[in-house]
Amino acid sequence: MGRTVRTFRDAIRIEEARWKEFRRTLRPAQREVFDKIFDHARSLADAGTMIPTPRITEVIFLSAILRIQEEIDSIGKRVQALEKLPEESTP
């Protein structure tokens, strides 16, 4: 017997195909960002499978938001470290 429920990764692939025409109208740089959003969703597919009946787009967007927040936090830590440098070097 085969699978009766599609995998979460398959659902992401189907959703990505649904957005194909939208993606096509974006500028190349925007397409790269768009593709990253779906990459983030694929990277968190294990978490996405934990939702009993996921709305795939919600999981995709939440995955992107999580990644964006990670980047913001990382940048914030680097800025704080750079702000401390002049204080530490002053005698």
Whole-angstrom distance, CA of residue 26 vs CA of residue 31: 6
pLDDT in tens, 21-36: 999 999 999 999 999 9
Domain range summary for the chain, segments of one domain joined by +: 8-85
Give the Cα separation of 91 and 80 in Å (integer): 20
0.75 exceeded by the pTM? Answer: no
The answer on pLDDT for 2 being more than 70 is no
73 vs 76: CA distance, rounded Å: 5
pLDDT confidence tier of residue 39, bands split at 50, 70 and 90: very high
* pLDDT(62) > 60: yes
Q: What is the dihedral of CA 71, 75, 80, 85, to 10 degrees?
A: 140
pLDDT of 85 strictly over 90: no
